[in-house]
Structure 1
């Protein structure tokens, strides 16, 4: 009895500390009235936490109660540690009445091992948060999407002829302005691990993403149609881009990322079937280890729009393939690739203070469109050598305009 009471007291104190920490990160408000804080523990709503019983309904009941709690209160959905919770696809939707919503993830969450359980009516994501402003998801829990059962066959059931299947996204935040995500570990996603869609003012920090380099289309973080996003101090190992920034995104800051294995940090792909705009992206102080690409911008031929004011600063490479690349001929299938007079216009791109080693000979590849030049490309204080002793490296350009200063290998292909 005493030990149980002590355990509950420790849990309450932990939640209060989480609330105080999250509030300090979110704003300069100062004091929190515990009287306005309400905790909704999923165990009290019927969760078993044994890794076998479906806890989806218990999670939904806890979320609904928290979301419909007192206005101007602060609601915490608590997922206790020491347990594993099996969930089918779940949509945590808003708007919510409380001014702040918190989800404390101390336990582990795992998907169903039966594909038929993954049918849902909220697009193609497994765990989705939507229309919840001021949301904080925090904790040391682990979220496992059981990716191996999807990687060989992304279909839930045999598709009609000509239809391509897409495996689910592991965690998605959609229209969650001011969102904070901190501390979680995401592993073995069926597809993208973390997707931010139409979010403004989001901060993602201190997360771990882990999938094998052979896992297909498992981007670590995909930022789409979002603004004022900050991703920092995280470790990402994936089978695709560690971070991909898609069309409609602006004012994006990426820093302190350890990437590898994976395909590096990418802008794009852009221009596939419509107009794409990306601007004001700052990537700095990141490390790439044995990745397929380092920092790159990739666009399809035939696209419309622009990507500008993009900087990569203080990047370190360790045995990276394709360390610096602009690819305006992106066509991953290598089939029916377009050759067009239109493409996404690239300008004001800076690569500065970059060093390390490469497994490729062509370490700086600026392949711009032959019909729409890249302009104001700056390559400054970039030093890349071969990871193989004695092998020479070089850089190349297609229709790239700008300047190169203090660069090894010598880059003389940039046009004025």
Structure 2
């Protein structure tokens, strides 16, 4: 499967007509910065040197209108985090970027940071264009040493990821693009997108664990909190959301992707509403032509009990799911088993004790369409290796491996204008397909298109 994924990286899948919210063009948003000074990042040749300093020097010298080049086939060791502001700059990654292998050393850097969050590579600017190479022997981030595997294997029994893990990189940019990105064994959260007008094209992320290895907790492929974003042509093997749209995400299209295990969570909206006093929004999101294999979820929308905000105008179109536990899933009673922050309850996802959290509002979810889904439900071996609670964090009371759709709304008005069109997902056992609904009210959803077999809605 890995070989096939790499071939897919070199031979992009045919692109469907991209959705262009509010009249956005499907053409690339930016042009390359041409001309200007070329700055070559120098390498010390081993992990005993810190090439972060060389990158900082090159970035400073070519910060406006220049070209930053990582040499072909050369290994670079970023032993300390890098931050750079680059405007009208091209970055060409022809070499390999490595992170430190010493877990304790990295934890010390993360613990010493403000707020305990570190993006090892943090780039800001306008018209910043980052391009990798289709040469499979070079142009990798993390490369072959398997840095992430060490962290996953070190996770204690019943732990959900060891403390003080860094994020890989963040692009807080405008009018920019990323292309031909290859990442192997990331420690945890991979790519954060902030800003606006960002194109991402041709991405391969391998966060799969070795046989009997530790679970790759929190290896999100993309966390998007930006506006006017297009992500196209990607293959992601991981243990969390492949692409998730967070607070502030708006006008985002995600197309032509393959998502695989060991514990993938498909494409997601949220989670939203954990900080009860903060209003959060996600609007105008289009997912299309997505293949999901061996995942817990195909698509997911997740909000916290008592949260505030709105999710509006979201489409999940043309999904091909196989061996997936919950193909279509929504919960407004989400909790995060790996967080010490206020949760909905001690391992209780639907009903029960909410741990003192005030149930006084909901993140409203409006105008959501699911259309043209095919595939099968993981009937015989549901879930993944991420369960550290009893019941499991992904437990749905009454689920028996036949639920193609699980929709759990917090009240009768929290979910409105939902539509389901041409959903053909069946259990591997060939039992009758079931649809579980909670508070999915007929009056708020006049064109629903499904019959709930367990829940409050009893007719189409």
TM-score, structure 1 normalization: 0.81
2:91 is matched with which residue?
A: 103
From 295, 298, 302, give the equivalent of 1:298.
Answer: 302
| Structure 1 residues 183 and 143: CA distance shift in structure 2, 3 A | same
Is the deviation greater in 264-273 or in 57-66?
57-66
Is the 8 Å Cα contact of residues 382 and 408 (structure 1) preserved in structure 2? no
Is the 8 Å Cα contact of residues 167 and 188 (structure 2) preserved in structure 1? yes
1:99-178 → structure 2 map (5 Å cutoff): 100-115=88-103, 117-118=105-106, 119=109, 123-130=117-124, 132-140=125-133, 141-144=139-142, 146-151=147-152, 165-174=163-172, 176-178=173-175
Cα distance in 2 for partners of 1:63, 1:410 equals 58
Where do 5+ consecutive residues of structure 1 fail to align? 1-23, 69-73, 156-163
Is the 8 Å Cα contact of residues 246 and 271 (structure 2) preserved in structure 1? yes
2:395 is matched with which residue?
A: none
Cα distance in 2 for partners of 1:241, 1:28 equals 30
Is the 8 Å Cα contact of residues 384 and 408 (structure 1) preserved in structure 2? no
Cα distance in 2 for partners of 1:357, 1:177 equals 40
1:90 is matched with which residue?
A: 81
Is the deviation greater in 316-325 or in 334-343?
334-343
Is the 8 Å Cα contact of residues 452 and 458 (structure 2) preserved in structure 1? no
2:221 is matched with which residue?
A: 220
Matched, 1:413 2:457: yes
Cα distance in 1 for partners of 2:55, 2:369 equals 46
Matched, 1:314 2:314: no
2:270 is matched with which residue?
A: 268
From 70, 78, 91, give the equivalent of 2:69.
Answer: 78
Cα distance in 2 for partners of 1:86, 1:27 equals 30
Q: Could you tell me how far 1:310 is from its partner in structure 2?
A: 0.6
TM-score, structure 2 normalization: 0.73
Is the 8 Å Cα contact of residues 396 and 413 (structure 1) preserved in structure 2? no
Aligned length: 365
Matched, 1:367 2:408: yes
Q: Could you tell me how far 1:411 is from its partner in structure 2?
A: 10
Is the 8 Å Cα contact of residues 305 and 344 (structure 1) preserved in structure 2? yes
Cα distance in 1 for partners of 2:163, 2:30 equals 42
Is the 8 Å Cα contact of residues 419 and 448 (structure 2) preserved in structure 1? yes
Q: Could you tell me how far 1:393 is from its partner in structure 2?
A: 2.0
Is the 8 Å Cα contact of residues 312 and 367 (structure 2) preserved in structure 1? yes
Q: Could you tell me how far 1:81 is from its partner in structure 2?
A: 1.9
Q: Could you tell me how far 1:309 is from its partner in structure 2?
A: 0.5
Cα distance in 2 for partners of 1:310, 1:366 equals 15
Secondary structure of the 1:150 match is: helix
From 396, 405, 409, give the equivalent of 2:436.
Answer: 396
From 381, 384, 392, give the equivalent of 2:425.
Answer: 384
Q: Could you tell me how far 1:116 is from its partner in structure 2?
A: 5.1
Is the 8 Å Cα contact of residues 56 and 84 (structure 2) preserved in structure 1? no
Q: Residues 149-171 of structure 1, C-alpha deviation per residue, up to 9 Å, x if partnerless?
A: 3336689xxxxxxxx94411111
Is the 8 Å Cα contact of residues 246 and 270 (structure 2) preserved in structure 1? yes
Q: Residues 365-392 of structure 1, C-alpha deviation per residue, up to 9 Å, x if partnerless?
A: 111112643111001111111123x333
| Structure 1 residues 410 and 317: CA distance shift in structure 2, 3 A | farther
Cα distance in 2 for partners of 1:409, 1:259 equals 29
Q: Could you tell me how far 1:344 is from its partner in structure 2?
A: 0.3
1:12-91 → structure 2 map (5 Å cutoff): 25-27=28-30, 36-43=35-42, 47-67=43-63, 74-91=65-82
Cα distance in 2 for partners of 1:410, 1:356 equals 21
Cα distance in 2 for partners of 1:364, 1:414 equals 15
Is the 8 Å Cα contact of residues 89 and 127 (structure 1) preserved in structure 2? no
Where do 5+ consecutive residues of structure 2 fail to align? 1-26, 134-138, 157-161, 210-214, 338-344, 347-353, 379-400
Is the deviation greater in 288-297 or in 49-58?
49-58
Q: Residues 126-166 of structure 1, C-alpha deviation per residue, up to 9 Å, x if partnerless?
A: 11112x110011012111182233336689xxxxxxxx944
Q: Could you tell me how far 1:250 is from its partner in structure 2?
A: 0.7
Q: Residues 256-279 of structure 1, C-alpha deviation per residue, up to 9 Å, x if partnerless?
A: 011111111000001001221111
Is the 8 Å Cα contact of residues 407 and 436 (structure 2) preserved in structure 1? yes
Q: Could you tell me how far 1:303 is from its partner in structure 2?
A: 0.3
1:4 is matched with which residue?
A: none
Is the 8 Å Cα contact of residues 101 and 136 (structure 1) preserved in structure 2? yes
